[in-house]
Copies of this chain bind each other. A is one copy, B any other.
Amino acid sequence: MQIRVINPNTTASMTEKIGEAAQQIAAPGTRVVATNPRSGPASIESHFDEAISAVGVLEEVRAGELEQADAYIIACFGDPGLLAARELTRAPVIGIAEAAFHMATLISTRFSIVTTLGRTGIIAEHLLQSYGFAHHCRRVRAAEIPVLDLEDGGNAALDRIIEECLRAKAEDNIGAIVLGCGGMADLREQISREVGLPIVEGVTAAMKLAESLVSLGLGTSKHGDLAFPRPKAFSGQFEYLSGPGR
Which A residues contact B (CB, under 8 angstroms)?
10, 25, 27-28, 37-43, 45-52, 54-55, 58, 81, 83-84, 86-88, 92, 94, 98, 102-103, 105-110, 118-122, 126, 129-136, 146, 169, 173-176, 189, 192, 196-198, 200, 204-205, 208-209, 211-213, 215-221, 223-227, 229-230, 232-239, 241
A205 and chain B: residue at smallest CB distance: B216
CA–CA, A121 and B38, complex, Å: 33
Sorted nearest first, the 8 A-B pairs with minimum C-beta distance are A39-B236, A132-B132, A208-B212, A175-B221, A51-B84, A46-B229, A47-B84, A47-B83
- A41: chain B residues at CB < 8 Å are 232-234, 238, 241
- Known contacts A48-B229, A232-B41; is A209 also within 8 Å of B106 by CB? yes
CA–CA, A83 and B78, complex, Å: 13
Neighbour of A216 across the interface among B50, B88, B204, CB < 8 A: B204
Supply 10 further A-B pairs (C-beta < 8 A) apart from A132-B133, A175-B224: A10-B233, A41-B234, A42-B233, A45-B230, A48-B87, A52-B55, A52-B84, A94-B106, A110-B225, A198-B219
- A105: chain B residues at CB < 8 Å are 98, 131-132
